[in-house]
């Protein structure tokens, strides 16, 4: 009976260990600035996920200006509304500048996923 309990505990511990290894968020030399109209982050090393929420009410629209500097690694960006509709999805984004139009009221999620990345990103929005 003791062996069975020990085996069950061991299997549970191994499963938990592998699950924990898949959810990580590592940042080295990272500086973040958040406010009501922008979100910026500069990093020497970033692996993991960061998310920012952006709310657009009623008849408002927003233009989100994105600036990415990629020195190393991979950076993916997704902008999703409350209904799960993807308004922008970019993978392994190189150094670039672009804009995304958000034209319906919703609570948007700007999600940044990084893999061994070095560089910076900036989101600035103007809600009208």
The residue extents of the domains of the chain are: 25-127
| pLDDT value of position 25 | 87
pLDDT average, residue stretch 41-54: 96
- Residue 20 scores a pLDDT above 90: no
Return mean pLDDT, the chain.
88
Please indicate whether residue 5 or residue 26 has the higher confidence score (pLDDT).
26
State the residue for tokens 């958040």: 34
Q: Give the CA distances from residue 45 to residues 28, 36, 60, 99, in Å, rounded to whole numbers and listed in that order.
A: 5, 26, 36, 25
Indicate if the pLDDT at residue 5 is higher than 70: no
How confident is the model at residue 17, as a pLDDT? 43
Tokens of 22: 């898949």
Spatial separation of the C-alpha atoms in residues 41 and 120, rounded to whole Å: 6
Strands 106-127 and 86-90, sheet pairing: unpaired
The model carries a pTM of 0.80
Q: Is residue 24 over pLDDT 70?
A: yes
How far is Cα 112 from Cα 114, in angstroms, rounded to an integer? 7
| 18-39 mean pLDDT | 80
Bridge partners, residue 72, by sequence: 118
Residue 3, pLDDT score: 67
CATH number of 25-127: 2.60.120.380
Compare 108 and 13 and report the one with higher pLDDT: 108
Residue 7 pLDDT level (bands cut at 50, 70, 90): low
Residue 38 CB neighbour total at 10 angstroms: 14
Distance CA(4)–CA(1), nearest Å, equals: 5
Q: Are 39 and 53 in contact (CB under 8 A)?
A: no
């Amino acid at each position: 009976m003791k062996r069975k309990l020990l085996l069950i505990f061991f299997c549970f511990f191994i499963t938990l260990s592998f699950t924990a290894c898949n959810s990580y968020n590592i940042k080295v030399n990272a500086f973040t600035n958040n406010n009501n109209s922008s979100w910026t982050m500069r990093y020497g090393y970033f692996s993991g996920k960061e998310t920012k929420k952006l709310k657009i009410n009623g008849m408002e629209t927003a233009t989100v200006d994105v600036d990415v500097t990629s020195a190393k690694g991979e950076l993916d960006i997704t902008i999703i509304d409350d209904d799960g509709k993807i308004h922008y999805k970019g993978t392994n984004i190189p150094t670039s500048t672009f804009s995304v139009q958000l034209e319906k009221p919703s609570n948007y999620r700007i999600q940044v996923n990084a893999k061994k990345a070095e560089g910076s990103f900036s989101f600035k929005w103007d809600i009208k």
